[in-house]
């Protein structure tokens, strides 16, 4: 059974297959036509963390593919009352065709997948956000930034940074991550990326200086400094990330035709300035729209390769 918990589990060929399906489905969408490859299929959606883009894109996506989605918040399942994950996984996967889970601890996803009879998609965990990176790479393709790009990630070594590590190491491009001391990516994930990079030829480097990372970049990306569940650290993090705001001055160090990406929601004036977010290099809303199409591609691919 194939699951989408992290891009670490996929080859470059498979990632490109998913995105080719996504592009074809997007073309149909723009023409107002739906081929419905998942007609009468059911997607169970478990949300233990709130979401705007993830919920709407998955729910709209499965509907456009001909199926339907069942939304389950943390209050709608017995998981909130302490039912073992393995029990919920076995029961729910006997009733639906695909499952998406958005949670905190990545180990919860791994346990769920172990007992699930159908493909499980990671809608976000504290370690990885693979569906976002599929949308990001689709955006890079559409903007002509997928041919040996240099990508600069500026900010917290969180699930987005980890996911960029997986994407770069699989696709074979250059990735530079700048994070302040104490907020670096997890070493075990970095080491895994380096192992993949030996095969793909990716060039991956970690540093603290955002100016060094962003120099001559084709793609510049960042994420919020305080993710969900870290609100109590906000003041401390704002202080630690001083100098890491992607403003027009910092962005000017990248290539003139570089693009800016952000998974959203963005805190304007913190990790990115209003000017950059609303500027001509910003592709954040194309990127957000591509969540819909990339996830449709992933659902179709997983159902075909289960």
For residue 74, the domain's CATH number is 3.40.50.1370
The pLDDT assigned to 75 comes to: 82
Query: Does one domain contain both 136 and 283?
Result: yes
Tell me what pLDDT residue 229 has. 61
Annotated binding site for carbamoyl phosphate: 51-54, 78, 102, 129-132, 263-264, 291
Q: How far apart are CA 56 and CA 67, in angstroms?
A: 14
Output the pLDDT for position 283: 98
Domain presence at residue 181: yes
The C-alpha atoms of residue 250 and residue 292 are separated, in whole angstroms, by 30
Both 98 and 177 in a single domain? no
Assigned domain for 1 exists? no
In whole angstroms, how far apart are CA 242 and each of 20, 162, 213, 221, 262? 40, 22, 16, 17, 18
Q: What's 185's DSSP letter?
A: P
277 and 233 fall within a common domain: yes
- Same-domain pairing of 187 and 265: yes
> What pLDDT is recorded for position 228?
58
Residues 252 and 185 grouped into a single domain: yes
pTM: 0.96
My answer on whether omega of the bond before 265 falls inside 30° of 0, hence cis, is yes
Residue pointed to by tokens 């004036």: 269
Same domain, 101 and 25: yes
Q: What was the pLDDT predicted at 158?
A: 97
Q: How many domains does the chain have?
A: 2
Q: Residue 212 falls within a domain, yes or no? A: yes
Tell me what pLDDT residue 107 has.
97
Range of the domain at 174: 131-287
> Domain check: are 18 and 64 in the same one?
yes
Instruction: Give average pLDDT by consecutive 10-residue segment, the chain, 306 residues.
Output: 97 98 97 95 95 96 98 83 90 98 97 98 98 98 98 98 98 98 98 98 98 98 80 83 97 98 96 98 98 98 96
Binding-site members are: 51-54, 78, 102, 129-132, 159, 223, 227-228, 263-264, 291
pLDDT of residue 231: 63
Residues making up the binding site for L-ornithine = 159, 223, 227-228
| Catalytic sites, residue numbers | 102, 129, 132, 223, 263, 291
Same structural domain for residues 142 and 72? no
Whether residue 210 is found in the same domain as residue 274: yes
Sequence-separated (6 or more) residues with CB below 8 Å from residue 261: 136, 139, 219, 220, 221, 283, 284, 287
Dihedral sign computed on CA atoms, order 237, 242, 246, 248: positive
Residues 80 and 175 in one domain: no
92 within some domain: yes
Give exposure, 156-176, as e/b (b: 16+ Cβ within 10 Å).
bbbbbbbbbbbbbbbbebbbb
152 and 60 in one domain? no
Structure confidence at residue 291 (pLDDT): 98
């Amino acid at each position: 059974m194939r699951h989408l918990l992290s891009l670490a589990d996929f080859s470059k060929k498979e990632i490109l297959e998913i995105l080719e399906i996504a592009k074809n489905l997007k073309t149909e969408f723009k023409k107002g036509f739906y081929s419905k490859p998942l007609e009468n299929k059911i997607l169970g959606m478990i949300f233990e963390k709130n979401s705007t883009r993830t919920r709407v894109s998955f729910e709209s996506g499965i509907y456009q593919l001909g199926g339907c989605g069942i939304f389950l918040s943390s209050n709608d399942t017995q998981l909130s009352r302490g039912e073992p994950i393995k029990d919920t996984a076995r029961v729910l996967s006997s009733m639906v065709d695909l499952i998406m889970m958005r949670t905190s601890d990545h180990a919860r996803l791994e346990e769920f997948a172990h007992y699930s009879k159908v493909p499980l998609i990671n809608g976000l965990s504290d370690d990885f956000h693979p569906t976002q990176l599929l949308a990001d790479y689709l955006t890079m393709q559409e903007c002509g930034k997928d041919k040996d790009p240099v990508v600069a990630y500026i900010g917290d070594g969180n699930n987005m940074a980890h996911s960029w590590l997986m994407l770069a190491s699989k696709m074979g491009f250059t990735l530079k991550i700048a994070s302040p001391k104490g907020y670096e990516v997890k070493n075990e994930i970095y080491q895994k990326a380096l192992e993949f990079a030996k095969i793909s030829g990716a060039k991956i480097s970690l540093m603290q200086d955002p100016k060094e990372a962003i120099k001559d970049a084709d793609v510049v990306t960042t994420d919020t400094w305080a993710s969900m569940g870290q609100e109590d650290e906000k003041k401390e993090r704002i202080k630690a990330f001083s100098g890491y705001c992607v403003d027009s001055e910092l962005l000017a160090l990248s290539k003139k035709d570089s693009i800016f990406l952000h998974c959203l929601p963005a805190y304007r004036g913190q990790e990115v300035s209003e000017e950059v977010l609303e500027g001509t290099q910003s592709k954040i809303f194309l990127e957000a729209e591509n969540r819909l199409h990339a996830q449709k591609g992933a659902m179709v691919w997983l159902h075909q390769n289960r």
